[in-house]
Amino acid sequence: MLDVVHHSDQIDAVPVSWRAAPSEGTPALYVHGVPDSSIMWRPFLERTGGVALDLPGFGDSVKAVTFPYSLAGYDGYIERFLDWLGLERIDLVVHDWGAAALGFAQRMPERVERLVVINALPLFDGHRWHRAARLWRLYGVGELVMGSISLRMVRLALRHANVRPISEPRLREMYAKLDFGTQRAILKLHRSVRPGALAAAGANLGRIEAPALIVWGEADPFIPALVADEYAQALGGPCELERLADAGHWPWLDRPDVVDLVATFLARDSG
C-alpha cells in the first residue's frame, strides 16, 4: 500500500489542494465529482499512485465566487494544474462531474495515455437530472435546499446511491467538506449547463483514441447505465466496458475489486 500525502499550494496566488502517492511510469490523474473531493480516491492512490485534485469549489482548493464553475472552467483549470505540476502525459480517471476532464482530453488527446470512466456525467443529449439536481438548478429553491443541509439530509439523500449503505465515516467525510463555498459551487455548476451544453461538451469524444475502460454501477439512481454504452460508442479508441449489476454510483464502495480492476488496466503495457 502506497503512502498518500495531502498537498496544498498556490497557483498564481490561488489555493490548490491535491493528494498524491508515488507512481512509476505515466502517473494517473483522478478527478472527482459532486459532492466529493480528492479524499474519495484514497483507495486508488494507495494501489496505483498518482495525483487526485481537489477541483475548485471542493476540498481545500479555491472556492472564490469569481471562479467559472462549469465544464469549460474545469477543463481549462485541469490543463493549468497539469502544466504547473509538469505532468505532460497522464492516465485519466474520472467519476461523476469529473467528466469535465474529458474536455481537456478532447482538446489534447495526445496527453492521455489511458482513460477510465466511472459513472460519469453524460456528455450527451437527453440527460434527465436527478431530483436534487433539479432543485439545485432553480434559483432561490436551490439556495433554500443548500442552506438547510445537514448530515441527516446527506444520509437520506444518498441512502439509495449504492447497493450497500454508504458507511457513516464516508458520509461524514462528504458532509465535512460541504461548506458554503462548496454549496455555492454545486449550484453554479448545475446552473451552468444550458440545453445542448452536455452534448456540445462531448462532441469530440471520438478524438480520444487512448485505450479506455468504462466501469459502471448499474444500480446508480442518478445516471442510467445506458450512458456507459454511449461512452463506449463515442470514444475513439479501443474500449472495455464493465457493467456491474451489484454496484451503485460509487461502484468501488459496493465492489472493492473495482480498485484492482482499474489498477490492472492502468498497469498494462501500452506498447
Inform me whether the pLDDT recorded for 40 exceeds 50.
Answer: yes
Which residue, among 32, 50, 38, 22, has the nearest Cα to 266 in the 3D structure? 50
| Cα distance between residue 198 and residue 37, in whole Å | 22
- Structural domain for 104, as ranges: 5-267
Inform me whether the pLDDT recorded for 271 exceeds 80.
Answer: no
Sign of CA dihedral 17, 23, 26, 31: negative
Tens of pLDDT, residues 173-232: 999 999 999 999 999 999 999 999 999 999 999 999 999 999 999 999 999 999 999 999
How many structural domains comprise the chain? Answer: 1
Please state, as a whole number, how many other Cβ atoms lie within 10 Å of the Cβ of residue 123: 25
- Average pLDDT (35-60) is 97
CATH of the domain at 169: 3.40.50.1820
Q: What is the signed CA dihedral for 93, 95, 99, 105, rounded to 10 degrees?
A: 0
Tens of pLDDT, residues 114-170: 999 999 999 999 999 999 999 999 999 999 999 999 999 999 999 999 999 999 999
Query: What is the chain's mean pLDDT, rounded?
Result: 96
- Average pLDDT (232-252) is 98
When pLDDT is cut at 50, 70 and 90, the band that residue 268 belongs to is confident
Query: Residue with C-alpha cell 469524444?
Result: 205
- ∠ CA 133-121-180, nearest 5°, is 45
Q: What's the pLDDT score for residue 56?
A: 97
Tens of pLDDT, residues 77-94: 999 999 999 999 999 999
